[in-house]
Every structure is written in C-alpha cells, then in structure tokens.
C-alpha cells in the first residue's frame, strides 16, 4: 500500500493554541516522514522531518511525534499564530527511491 492518510481535512485554532494534525501510513518500508507547509500559489516548504528510529523530534514550535508500531505520526504546532494559516501536508518515502507519497492535506486557520 502506498497511501498516506491525513486528518483532519481542516482545522481552526485560536491564536496561541496547539494545532495537531495526524497521519497514518501502511507501507512499513517507508523510512522518511516529512511535513510540508504550503501557502496558496506557492510550492511546499519543508517544516520538519523524522525517521522511524526516533519517536519525537522538535524544531522550534513544531514537533513530530512518531509511533512506529501504530504506523502513525503527527505534527504539533505550539503557540499557533495567524501566520501559520496554510495547508499542511504529511508525506512518506523510502530513502532509496525518494518518491514522496503525500497525505491529503490539512487546511489550518489560526484565528487572532
């Protein structure tokens, strides 16, 4: 299975709150899990990525939590700001191919 399932489809959070987006994958051969942020009309920008030998990775306000046994990973955005309003995509790939399989995307709106 190549599919990566992402939820929720949309999310509204108050400024200062925590935004949580979840993804699940089927292919246990995946070994690289990035999150991308995309603004309308722009290309995706890498936020943070994790490999399955680590259960959590934090970079600034962004944290990835990874559960290998459940084949799930999530993005937490702490202290969400209106400037974080964008579409977020999780993805998965095998390092030897580099082919990214993207989730369906989550539209985040952070209200002032």
The answer to whether 44 contacts other proteins (rule: CB under 8 A) is yes
Residue 71 CA to residue 32 CA, distance in Å, equals 12
User: What is the footprint of other proteins within residues 73-92 (CB under 8 A)?
Assistant: 89
Q: C-beta of 21: minimal distance to other proteins in Å? A: 13
The answer to whether 29 contacts other proteins (rule: CB under 8 A) is no
Nearest to 73 by CA among 9, 24, 112: 24
Region of residue 105 (left: phi > 0; alpha: psi -120 to 50; beta: else): left
For the four alpha carbons of 7, 3, 90 and 88, in that order, the dihedral sign comes to negative
The answer to whether 98 contacts other proteins (rule: CB under 8 A) is yes
The answer to whether 93 contacts other proteins (rule: CB under 8 A) is yes
DSSP summary character for residue 68: T
Q: List the one residue from 41, 53, 69, 83 that touches other proteins (CB under 8 A).
A: 41
Binding site for other proteins (CB under 8 A): 32, 34, 36, 41-46, 49, 51, 89, 93, 95, 97-105
């Amino acid at each position: 299975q190549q599919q990566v399932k992402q939820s929720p489809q949309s999310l509204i959070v108050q400024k200062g709150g925590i935004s949580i987006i979840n993804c699940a994958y089927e292919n246990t051969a995946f070994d690289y899990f990035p999150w991308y942020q995309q603004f309308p009309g722009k290309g995706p920008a890498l936020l943070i990525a994790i490999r399955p030998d680590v259960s959590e990775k934090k970079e600034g306000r962004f944290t990835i939590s990874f559960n290998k046994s459940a084949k799930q990973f999530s993005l937490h955005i702490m202290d969400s700001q209106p400037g974080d309003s964008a579409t977020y995509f999780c993805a998965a790939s095998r390092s030897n191919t580099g082919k990214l399989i993207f989730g369906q995307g989550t539209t985040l709106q952070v209200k002032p």
